[in-house]
Structure 1
């Protein structure tokens, strides 16, 4: 006769009380909250035929009752535990250590020897996300000097070379990195994300062949030859390429690499190019071949003049980000050749040099269909340069942060010309003064659905006091009784 718990809330076959809400019970709840009931379940389970052997012992109290559960059942139970408790369960026994390893899906490798020894695949056979960026660089663990740039960081010894050769001298050899990448590719067939530094075409070809479900790839120190290896990643959707990084490495991606990439990875949805070169031809190839591309990010680009016109071929592009660019476009060309991105919804300019009037004008001309504009910490953004944003007539959301040269006189005509504007955020723009707000601009503010107005500390104080009644004589706080 099968065992049934005495508590009706644990019996899935019993009908719930009309006055109490029925709740579902998981194995993890039984284990943590009701150990007595779980013990009764284990005692009720029939022991295997060798239960009297030396393996289990004659004393039932010393028997490991989890041996009665299959690996699949125990994995389902352990998977219900919070992530913070999964590491501690590996200390119970060797079996639980192996089971816990099968639950791990994402890992950041810090020691390259862990890969070459084969212990990584043996310990974690079901990995889907692998980050090798830190293990590719030889780092002095005992050093207190940490060099950090973006996603890369390494500890330096007290005697180090000039900064321009730090990564080159501390990076593992290409053969070693490719050998480790091949081990990862062969042992993780379900790999969906990979981050690696300094891999070559040989190592990446093995990834393209073995990991057919790879969807996200991040490559540091890559060149045109490197991109030949990922042309076979047919299901790749998210790609980040890091070419030249001053102080770390000087590899470059040109139009040749961008064309190879475009022809091989046609299902790209998000593409980030950091420290990459190129021109109109490379951007055009990406737009024509990667028709599913929705998000494009260019960080510290080395593009030749005229590259902005290639964005018009990205017909389904929805988000464009320009970050830390010293120059937008040195020679954008005539307006009739610029075109536009008809599906563009969001434009982000972050930490860019914006003194180039023609380049900034070309950006707003190509992005004239945009609805959201975010400008953050762009150096040199003066009133006459910001005035070109008026070309974007369908803007509904505008966010300005850290634009210290922009004044109220430069902001007002733009806001008054946008009839579809619904939300405005102005923060840390010290040249914008509350005292310079005209009646027309105040009326425009009142029609907005969302307004965040904190251009300086005084406005922050006034905003915090608004609606409180403070600042008036008597007011709501001092009333006569």
Structure 2
């Protein structure tokens, strides 16, 4: 028996059938993933030390830890800044801990800063670290405080250590004035800050001179808000060049901290230079009728005027009528209003006044309170909070304000329902009334009395 092997015959007229690809063909043709694996193995071999005999038991992975690769390097600084700017403040404040690049980028996003150490400005680190500042507070940085003292002083605008060698509070005690930086040092820092931050919009400083503020006025043309502590008439010559200034706060004298003088001379210089003021606050400043009149005539855009612990001369209240566009008038912690306001014919009402706020003030005589309400005859809102000495007889003079829509009384211990009667029965437009912590009348007495007054107004 013999076997013969027959060769397979192929028909040239029929098409060949394609063979299905095998797994090995797919692997060899698609070499892109393989290249990544080989590249990862090479990176691992370069970064990992050569194993010795002692480390043969330790297993080493061939794929590197991709979490250590900073993929944000592919993004430009401009694009990354846009991304970081969209984060909330709570998330953005910790970005500087990521790397040095994020530290620099985070500094470019900071707009507001409170300086605690003046060396941070003189060394140039402030400018290099935060080049786009628009809001800078320099008060705490201008004060040199002892670090070996356990006595801590808190004020409305500063916190500082007090020298333990001081014994007691004497009448002429001015602890802040004794620890201020020299004027030359403050001016030099202001010049460096102004030249590096031309887009500065708000500045708070203490102990500066005319030259330092002039450099700020010349370099920072967009400056809109300024707060000056320990200010005097000469310093106000420097801010007269701030053409675009809109919000200004002047602090002249603070009992126990420092002493400085702002008089009619400084107020006149201010009025002639800063004609675009919208908000003005005078704290611990002196002056008279002439200074307030100059402000009213020159600063015609003034809408909000605040006086804190003022030392104005008698008769200044009549000058408020020159503020034709004044809408809000505030008195904060004032020991007096105007003991001698003058004849009634000089007390002209402010035509545009809408709000009168009185907080922590002392009312010593009915004559000054009556003059105040006469000047504020056109107000729509009266807020009195924690004012000493305001009794029924004084508050009855508020009945001249017949257009009041909102009346808020808080902490007026001498007021009773008898004092409220005069204004509630004469204010036909009254819509909101708030009475709190007026001890001479319980809430039930006030509520029933208010209900009776409202019924009488409705019947009328």
TM range (shorter): 0.7 to 0.9
Per the alignment, residue 337 of structure 1 pairs with 346
Per the alignment, residue 122 of structure 2 pairs with 116
Any idea what the Cα deviations from partners look like across 1:215-235, whole Å, max 9, x if unmatched?
000000000001000000010
CA separation of 1:144 and 1:310: change in aligned 2, threshold 3 A:
same
Per the alignment, residue 154 of structure 1 pairs with 160
Per the alignment, residue 133 of structure 1 pairs with 139
Distance in 2, Cα, partners of 1:78 & 1:103: 8
Contact 1:259 1:285 (C-alpha < 8 Å) held by counterparts:
yes
CA separation of 1:296 and 1:416: change in aligned 2, threshold 3 A:
same
The residue matched to 1:340 in structure 2 has which SS?
Answer: coil
Which moved further from structure 2: 148-157 or 58-67?
Answer: 58-67
Deviation at residue 446 of structure 1 after TM alignment = 6.2
> Which structure's CA Rg is the greater one?
2
Deviation at residue 162 of structure 1 after TM alignment = 6.1
Any idea what the Cα deviations from partners look like across 1:182-237, whole Å, max 9, x if unmatched?
11111110000000011110100000000000000000000000100000001001
Equivalent of residue 236 in structure 2, options 222, 227, 241: 227
Per the alignment, residue 91 of structure 1 pairs with 97
Deviation at residue 83 of structure 1 after TM alignment = 1.1
Deviation at residue 80 of structure 1 after TM alignment = 1.4
Unaligned runs of 5+ in 1: 1-42, 44-51, 450-481
Per the alignment, residue 403 of structure 2 pairs with 394
Contact 1:195 1:218 (C-alpha < 8 Å) held by counterparts:
yes
Query: CA RMSD of the aligned region, Å?
Result: 2.4
Per the alignment, residue 311 of structure 2 pairs with 302
Which moved further from structure 2: 245-254 or 62-71?
Answer: 62-71
Deviation at residue 397 of structure 1 after TM alignment = 0.6
Distance in 2, Cα, partners of 1:437 & 1:398: 14
Which moved further from structure 2: 153-162 or 94-103?
Answer: 153-162
CA separation of 1:196 and 1:162: change in aligned 2, threshold 3 A:
farther
The residue matched to 2:142 in structure 1 has which SS?
Answer: coil
- 1:238-317 matches, within 5 Å, as 238-317=247-326
CA separation of 1:161 and 1:121: change in aligned 2, threshold 3 A:
farther
Per the alignment, residue 369 of structure 2 pairs with 360
Per the alignment, residue 82 of structure 2 pairs with 76
CA separation of 1:437 and 1:104: change in aligned 2, threshold 3 A:
closer
Any idea what the Cα deviations from partners look like across 1:334-387, whole Å, max 9, x if unmatched?
111111110000001111111221111110000000000001111111111111
Per the alignment, residue 328 of structure 1 pairs with 337
Contact 2:310 2:334 (C-alpha < 8 Å) held by counterparts:
yes
The residue matched to 2:93 in structure 1 has which SS?
Answer: helix
Contact 1:407 1:433 (C-alpha < 8 Å) held by counterparts:
no
Contact 2:425 2:457 (C-alpha < 8 Å) held by counterparts:
no
Deviation at residue 142 of structure 1 after TM alignment = 4.8
- TM-score, with length taken from structure 1: 0.79
Which moved further from structure 2: 409-418 or 172-181?
Answer: 409-418
CA separation of 1:59 and 1:222: change in aligned 2, threshold 3 A:
same
- TM-score, with length taken from structure 2: 0.82
The residue matched to 2:174 in structure 1 has which SS?
Answer: helix
- 1:340-419 matches, within 5 Å, as 340-419=349-428
Which moved further from structure 2: 141-150 or 324-333?
Answer: 141-150
Deviation at residue 408 of structure 1 after TM alignment = 1.1
Deviation at residue 433 of structure 1 after TM alignment = 3.8
Unaligned runs of 5+ in 2: 1-32, 34-41, 48-62
Give the paired residue count: 397
Distance in 2, Cα, partners of 1:438 & 1:191: 51
Deviation at residue 63 of structure 1 after TM alignment = 4.2
